[in-house]
Amino acid sequence: MKIPCYLKNYEKLYQTNPREANLKWFKDAKYGLFLHYGLYSLLERHEWVQLREKIYVNEYADLKDKFTAERFDADYIAAFARDCGMKYINITTRHHECFCLWDTRETDFNSVNSPAKRDLLAELAEACEKYELGLFFYYTHGRDWRHPHAPNNDTWGGSARPGYDPPEPTYKYGSEHDLDIYLEFMKKQVKELLTMFPTAAGIWFDGIAVPLNGPTEQFKIPQMYEYIRTLSSHALISYKQGVTGTEDFFAPEHRIPGANVDKKILGKIGSRDKLIEMCTTMIDEPVSWGCYKGGKHKTVEQVVKAVEKSVRNGTNLLLNIGPMPDGSLDAHDEKILRKAGKILKEQKII
């Protein structure tokens, strides 16, 4: 395979060890753009709106018929990230609602089968290659509010599913529930992502609290990691603070926790022998990753301080924007990040 454009300065190492080349690039990258975009964006009240408001699956699915993404401009987004001094983009390919932003064969609950009729990941992958940016794929793994065989609250904890009363009729319960069916679904989708987009920088799993609250081994996470290694010689793997400790980097939210903050987490949280990427979002009050109407956003000074602190600590910063319902970037956040990017470059922080 041709070397991904974002690794062009690491070509010599890539020829002998693609994954090491990617790890070195990631360590040098320092700063990335996170995008949370999905059906929840249409409601403008947090990416967990389905769980928080206990919207039943079929009612929530009606949002697909309103998903146009008419102003989602992949080229503009990639150019914007580059202009802000960012070296990579991470996008929600499938959030907990299970709506997919690519032409997946595993479910018709996707952007191509909506009024948008577009494979947003294909567009963004092309734009990232053009602007020499790495592209990571956020993928919900432990938490899913649509698939019938995804983890239920009785075994995996209260935030695995919305607390429906009466119970959600499309979910499987008791002896009818088979987690292996869900695991196979995810395996096929991860294969799609890494074969349809072979230059992808990596897979960024989310939903860690669910497997950690139940029998973790049933999720077969080591086997998933091994499978990813067979699909891509360079793709990196992350699963928040780490489940097995074999992830390529840890990605805690908002701060780097101490090593003993949670005994359930099996990875070496905060260990300096592992690359760390702290992720945070532009909407601070209330904290939201998806579009939230009326939320309080970070200032230029806060963004500059966050990046400077992250770089000083030897970690990356993945800073999130929740695009508007139509897919356009939040105008306020765009203005703030452009100003912050100019300062970061002038001060040679990035």
- Residue-wise pLDDT tens digits, 69-121: 999 999 999 999 999 999 999 999 999 999 999 999 999 999 999 999 999 99
Cα–Cα dist 233/178, whole Å: 31
CB 317 within 8 A of CB 27: no
Structure token pair of residue 227: 């499978």
CA 64 to chain centre: 20
| pLDDT at res. 262 | 44
For residues 248 and 23, the answer to whether their CB atoms sit within 8 Å is yes
pLDDT at 264: 44
3-state secondary structure the chain: CCCCHHHHHHHHHHHHCHHHHHHHHHHHHCEEEEECCCCHHHHCECCCHHHHCCCCHHHHHHHHHHCCCCCCCHHHHHHHHHHCCCCEEEEEEECCCCCECCCCCCCCCEHHHCCCCCCHHHHHHHHHHHCCCEEEEEEECCCCCCCCCCCCHHHHCCCCCCCCCCCCCCCCCHHHCCHHHHHHHHHHHHHHHHHHCCCCCEEEEECCHHHHHCCHHHHCHHHHHHHHHHHCCCCEEEECCCCCCCCCEECCECCCCCCCCCCCCCCCCCCCCCEEEEEEECEEECEECCCECCCEECCHHHHHHHHHHHHHCCCEEEEEECCCCCCCCCHHHHHHHHHHHHHHHHCCCC
Cis peptide before 115 (omega within 30 of 0): no
Task: Tell the residue number behind the tokens 């249409």, with chain if given.
Answer: 42
| Residue among 61, 54, 49 nearest 113 (CA) | 61
- pTM for this prediction: 0.95
**In a structure prediction context, what are the per-residue pLDDT tens digits for the chain, which is 350 residues long?**
689 999 999 999 999 999 999 999 999 999 999 999 999 999 999 999 999 999 999 999 999 999 999 999 999 999 999 999 999 999 999 999 999 999 999 999 999 999 999 999 999 999 999 999 999 999 999 899 999 999 999 999 888 999 999 999 999 999 999 999 999 999 999 999 999 999 999 999 999 999 999 899 999 999 999 999 999 999 999 999 999 999 999 999 988 655 444 444 434 444 446 899 999 999 999 999 999 999 999 999 999 999 999 999 999 999 999 999 999 999 999 999 999 999 999 999 99
Q: Put the strands of the sheet holding 283-285 in their side by side order.
A: 287-288, 283-285, 296-297
Task: Give the model's pLDDT for residue 270.
Answer: 42
- Of the candidates 252, 248, 180, the residue with the CA atom closest to the CA atom of residue 215: 180
- How many other CB atoms are found less than 10 A from the CB of residue 293? 11
pLDDT recorded at residue 142: 87
| Measured distance CA(36)–CA(202) in Å, rounded | 17
> 278 has which bridge partners?
317
* C-alpha gyration radius of the chain: 19
Sign of CA dihedral 244, 192, 50, 146: negative
Domains of the chain (ranges, CATH numbers): 27-346 (3.20.20.80)
